[in-house]
A and B are shown apart, each in its own frame.
Chain A
Amino acid sequence: MVDIHKDFAEHSVAEFFKKNRQMLGYSGKIRSLTTIVHEFCTNSLDACEEAGIPPDVFIQVDKLGQEHYKVTVEDNGPGIPKKLVGKAFGKMLAGTKFQRFQQARGQQGIGGAGCVMFGQITTGKPTKVITSTGNGTIYECRLTIDIKTNEAKMGDEKEYTGQMRGTRVETELKDVLYQKSDQNPDEYLRRTALANPHAKITYINPDSLTTVYDRAIDAVPPMPRGTQPHPKGVTVDDLLSMASVTNARTVKSFLSTEFSRMSSAKAEEISKQVSFDMNKRPKDMNWEEAEQVIGAIKKMNFISPPTDVLIPINEQHLEKALENILKPEFKSVLTRPAAVYSGGVPFIVEVALAYGGKAGLPLNGNPEQPQNRMEIMRFANRVPLLFDAGGCGLTKAVQTIEWKRYGLQEDLPLTVIVNFTSIHVPYTGAGKQAVVDNEDIIKEIRLALMDAGRKLGTYVSGRRRKAESEARLKELMRYVDPVAEALHGLTDTAITKLKKELKELIEAKYSAGEIEEGDGEEEEEVEELEENGDSE
């Protein structure tokens, strides 16, 4: 028995990682590299925001050899006190069991440790950490995860004097690949910058190309508040997990104290619908009993959950981010009021349509005549979702819009941004790259897109009219010379005078971009039957 446990302990962390690579975002060589950048970057942004510091994050990806790279991420955050470094980067599974009922970026708990582990098992090398809280002392170490104890191990520890505040990590990786693709770190960071206009992001890619995304706004967004879960948004597994750590003494009091909108009267109502005594200790509740509780909740009505726990990007900030990065000719941004899915989980949908400028996906490489098609950018709690686009409810919602109704063609230089903000993002799988196809969510996105689409449609059709008007002006100008020459021939009027006056007439009418009623109507044509005889 002891041996078995020992074995289990020895292999658990590495085994868990290997077996669950996909689940953690490490499937495929291209995706793995983007995941590493995502995890470190998310840690940095979170750390800065928690400390109220406008983030300034530096990312560098170096190619060291065949499928061999180094990722460096440095931030200006609060830094990590020496004694917490191990906890911050080493605790592989800390906190993953519990769902936090708080709006947060991505995958809690696993992030930094996963990167350390990935580097360790693919290169055998530790992750270098340099950090300082700004107190004049810099701490540096080489960190590995001891798979025997599941603890972080710090080697080559150094402490020296210096002015720094923040954290820098360097990890070497193998079995990863950098490629020109819209799923690489370049694109991930471009989108991250779009959804985080308060962050400055500096990035050097493997081709040594430096990109700086400057801050579009100075204010750090407020930290989302944590909240109690709403009964309707809880699964059987959530319920049992919470029951295992609660301080409440009975199931009934557990329900009425740890859930939002759950009065003791509501808890009482549940107790009447289940077959077990809800005065038992929460820890003693088994799976079937928890199922009964959830079943009872499903049949009941609760007040909607509070929505002030959500912090969207907000319209002004999103607009600034678009101007900063896509420099669109026209933009239409909309933050919807908070809504609720599955009856209990609050969420907010934000959409932005960016037209022209750098918006849209280039279709061909011809800079002379660039062609674009619609580009969809998905975000969940400001995190770009680059993979599994086909199976994502956000994509589906965008695709159900009849863009043609707003006079918009699919081949426009158009970027469609959807940011889904929630305390709980309902991903389709453990890869956390696609949101479920949920009716409530799709409806909100559609409403937002239709509204934004109408505004863009009005702009684009106005623009088209203007372009037509300009084309006509050009066409008419071509006829000035022959008409002036003919009139000169008939009347001896000076050619220069005629040309000048004709040009003025055309400009007066077509520069304004207005077209009068009846314009463009063809004259009546002569019957086709007679064409043959009267001419030639």
Chain B
Amino acid sequence: MATANDEVRKKLKALGTKVTKEIENKESPRIEIPVRGLSNVEYDEKTGLLKLGSQVSKRSFLNYAHARKFMQTMLVANFAYNELLKTGIHTSLRDMFYALKRTLPNSNENTFEEQIESDHCVVDLEVSVDTLREDLHLSADVRGRVVGPVTIKDRGDTINWSKLGSGGWAIPSNVEDIEFKKVDAKFILVIEKNAAFERLHEDKYWEKNNCILVTTQGQAARGPRRLIQRLSTEYKLPVYVFTDGDAYGWYIYSVIKYGSMALAHTSDRLGTPDAKFLGLTMKDIEKYKLEKYTIKAKPVDIKRAKDMMKYDWFQTKGWQDELKRMLEKGYKAELEALSSKGLKFITETYLPDKIKNKDFLE
């Protein structure tokens, strides 16, 4: 623990020393940050993961468009260095935001106006000094839950995921130190929506099918992604992803499988290249005659679908057809549309059929 801490502190101090030297030499002080965004993300076919390209942007204090972000990045670096790593305290992104927010002298301007600004600085710092948020002792809000035949050890407590009542286990932001004691599952089912997760949990789907049920509750946060990856690789468990039938849902699958553009530097820790997409697909809508239960696609859905069609990691025939069909039909469907066939249709017909027939969209 202490050595990992020292390692990160050394990196942060090196950043400060570099900037201080530049100031001393009357050069424009700058932080070099690998560009995070589509233009600097590559799909690595060998690993099946997104990785960060070589483009680096320079955040210069003397460039007025960068100055504010430069100041913010330095504040975050100092906060992690002195307040967290030096004392061994962990905190949330939200706490850090409040700890660093203050009004600048002679102005109405605050060091940070919104939390999103400090959140961005953390990721910038991660890629810039090559570390991880977890190693900076920062955590995000808890989001994502899990149930299933698994027993773990977390900070000394033994927890059985099958004995946690209706709520399941809330997945923490940092799952690095979780110890798996016993894993009896045969596969992992990842569900986008909490409501569907609860439905399946109530039906004891996981018990009947001997699987682990995870809900990401929207776009997957780091904790659930890392947890899915660990379970999948450490226990060779297949991963099936079940989302709404729209571009947003499909991209949740993409992030779980390939990693995200924003965190492409850490895809190898967060991505699960073996994950399979189970549904909901446009084909499903036709196959199960769900047209009546579709929703008209909004302009933002169309735009996302069009963007995704261009991504390197969506260049398979299956996905191109799927996206094209969505654009043609101009509709989308929530996974609950399947319940129009009866409340147990998902658990008794849809999922077993899909898994048995290996009816995955690839």
Contact = CB atoms under 8 A, between A and B. Distances in A.
A521 B26 CA distance: 22
A536 B221 contact: yes
B319 to A, nearest CB: 16
Of the listed residues B36, B67, B106, B216, the one surrounded by the most CB atoms of chain A closer than 10 A to its CB is B67
A483 B57 contact: no
B104 A478 contact: yes
Given A478-B106, A533-B218, A534-B221, A524 B35 contact: yes
Contact of A476 (B39, B67, B120, B261): B67
Contacts of B161: none
Nearest to B68: A479
B70 A526 contact: no
A486 B75 contact: yes
Nearest to B63: A519
Interface in A477-536: 478-479, 481-483, 485-487, 489-491, 493, 498, 501-502, 504-506, 508-509, 518-527, 529-536
Given A535-B93, A535-B116, A476 B218 contact: no
A479 B20 contact: no
A525 B63 CA distance: 17
Contacts of B220: 533
Contacts of B219: 530, 532-534
B28 interface: yes
Interface residues of B, number: 70
A530 B81 CA distance: 28
A493 B66 CA distance: 23
A475 interface: yes
A146 B269 CA distance: 111
Contacts of A534: 123, 140, 219, 221-222, 260, 262-263
Interface string B23-55: 110101100010111111000000000000000
A534 B218 CA distance: 11
A504 B29 CA distance: 13
Interface string B241-279: 000000010011001000011110000000000000000
Interface string B56-95: 0101011111111111001101100110000000000110
Given A491-B20, A523-B59, A533 B221 contact: yes
Nearest to A475: B64
B104 A482 contact: yes
A454 B82 CA distance: 57
Of the listed residues A479, A485, A506, A522, the one surrounded by the most CB atoms of chain B closer than 10 A to its CB is A479
A451 B231 CA distance: 76
Contacts of B304: 529
A94 B20 CA distance: 88
Of the listed residues A486, A527, A532, the one surrounded by the most CB atoms of chain B closer than 10 A to its CB is A486
Interface residues of A, number: 41
B196 interface: no
A490 B16 contact: yes
A502 B70 CA distance: 13
Contacts of A505: 23, 26, 28-29, 61-62
Of the listed residues B16, B64, B220, B248, the one surrounded by the most CB atoms of chain A closer than 10 A to its CB is B64
B61 A483 contact: yes
A475 B57 contact: no
A472 interface: yes
B11 to A, nearest CB: 11
Of the listed residues A519, A525, A529, A530, the one surrounded by the most CB atoms of chain B closer than 10 A to its CB is A529
Interface in A92-134: none
A482 B111 contact: yes
A55 to B, nearest CB: 53
B78 A479 contact: no
Interface string A433-451: 0000000000000000000
A491 B40 CA distance: 32
Contact of B24 (A481, A501, A508, A530): A501
Contacts of B106: 478
A493 B20 contact: yes
Contacts of B78: 485-487, 489-490
Of the listed residues B57, B61, B251, the one surrounded by the most CB atoms of chain A closer than 10 A to its CB is B61
Contacts of A519: 63-65
A486 to B, nearest CB: 4
Contacts of A498: 20, 23
A421 B107 CA distance: 54
Contacts of B40: 524
Interface in B124-174: 140-141, 143
A499 to B, nearest CB: 10
B19 interface: yes
Contacts of A518: 63
B75 A530 contact: no
Nearest to B173: A536
B17 interface: yes
Contacts of B36: 524, 526
B67 A530 contact: no
B13 interface: yes
Contacts of A536: 93-94, 115, 119, 140-141, 143, 221
B109 interface: yes
A359 B12 CA distance: 56
B105 interface: yes
A535 B119 contact: yes
B15 interface: yes
A519 B220 CA distance: 36
Of the listed residues A491, A529, A533, A535, the one surrounded by the most CB atoms of chain B closer than 10 A to its CB is A533
A280 B338 CA distance: 113
Nearest to A472: B64
Contacts of A485: 78
Given A526-B262, A530-B262, A532-B219, A476 B16 contact: no
B172 to A, nearest CB: 14
Q: Which 5 A-B pairs have the closest CB atoms?
A: A490-B16, A533-B219, A486-B78, A486-B74, A535-B119
24 contacts: A475-B68, A476-B64, A478-B106, A478-B109, A479-B68, A479-B71, A483-B61, A490-B81, A491-B16, A505-B23, A509-B62, A523-B59, A526-B37, A529-B248, A529-B307, A531-B116, A532-B218, A532-B219, A533-B220, A533-B221, A535-B115, A535-B119, A535-B140, A536-B141
Given A482-B75, A505-B61, A522-B65, 18 more contacts: A478-B106, A486-B78, A487-B16, A490-B13, A490-B74, A502-B61, A505-B62, A520-B64, A523-B35, A525-B37, A526-B261, A527-B37, A530-B260, A534-B219, A534-B263, A535-B93, A536-B94, A536-B115
